[in-house]
Amino acid sequence: MKKFLLAFCLTLVVGFAFSQQLPLYTQYMMNGFLLNPAIAGSKDYIPIALTVRQQWVGITNAPSTYALSGHAAPFLNKNMGVGGYIYNDRFGPIMRTGLLASYAYHLKLDQKHKLAFGVSLSGFQYKIDGEQLTTADPNDDAITYQDESKFIPDANFGAYFYSDRYWAGLSVAQLFQWKADIGQSVNDNKMVRHYFLTAGYRIDLTKSVKDFELEPSLLVKATEMRSPMQLDINLKGYYKKNYWLGFSYRTQDAVMVLLGVKYQQYYIGYAFDYTLSNISNYAKGGSHEIMIGINIGEGKGTGSSLL
């Protein structure tokens, strides 16, 4: 009975939302490395970022995520990139804590364009917190609540085409598709592959509007689960590279507002998701995400003054 309840809980939680096998981020356009290992080493500086996300405020034990990431071109080698991040993602009784290391190789196509390929190896602990499992009869002595966990290795792959003004990337996460195998399976609790397609373009409006830039972008997400493809449509505006304001629409899910400020090498960003699905009947407070970062070694001419 206990095994059945654990497996049933896992099935409900994993299947409840489209993308919740993996952490969900709204400010991924500020840190694309979270989605694509090929981005490692694509900058002339070392970006380090901390992301904290609380999803569906108003629902007890709703998803929460913490992620710390960084990447660089080691030894000033512009053809190679390395990076990594650690994260903790929790949804109800399900907790996933992992570590990921990435390597990327960048090919110079011409003076303006590069093509990178990257791979990441990861390991994470998949755990069910037995203390959060409840039944209709809490006095049922036949059921004992205890933690169950499993360590799962995995890998991601990505490709990234980019220049100073535009980019496009394709990545695949959870290549191995291991099964969680926690409790007695009532469903195929497999870590299915996730596909991410990104593209964007930064438009310099200086000739018509001084110190302004506009950045439209999109993200297409798909999985091998029986879930519909999901599309994010984004538009961000920058003023003097120090301030930004953006709006996004995620199909079948939410509309988002993003804003942030940058000073020298430091920046902070905030995103609010207003849920459009039926979950909004319970998640009255929406979802909130904060990103704090530092770009080590970034040129002083970028974001050096707030005025």
Amino acid at residue number 252: Q
- pLDDT score recorded for residue 12: 44
Global confidence as pTM: 0.86
- pLDDT score recorded for residue 9: 43
What percent of the chain stands above pLDDT 70?
A: 82
Average pLDDT of the chain is 86
Select, from the ranges 106-120, 125-139, 275-289, the one with the highest average predicted confidence (pLDDT).
Answer: 106-120
- The C-alpha atoms of residue 271 and residue 256 are separated, in whole angstroms, by 7
- The C-alpha atoms of residue 25 and residue 262 are separated, in whole angstroms, by 20
For the chain, the structural domain boundaries read 2-133+146-296
Strand segments (E) across 142-253? 148-162, 166-173, 194-201, 203-204, 212-223, 230-239, 243-250
- Give the residue, 131 or 260, on which the prediction is more confident: 260
Task: Calculate mean pLDDT across residues 58-74.
Answer: 94
Q: How many CB atoms lie within 10 A of CB 290?
A: 15
Place of tokens 């830039």: 213
Place of tokens 């030894």: 75
pLDDT tens-digit series, residues 273-288: 999 988 888 888 899 9
Q: 307 pLDDT exceeds 70?
A: no
Question: To which CATH superfamily is domain 2-133+146-296 assigned?
Answer: monomeric porin ompg (2.40.160.40)
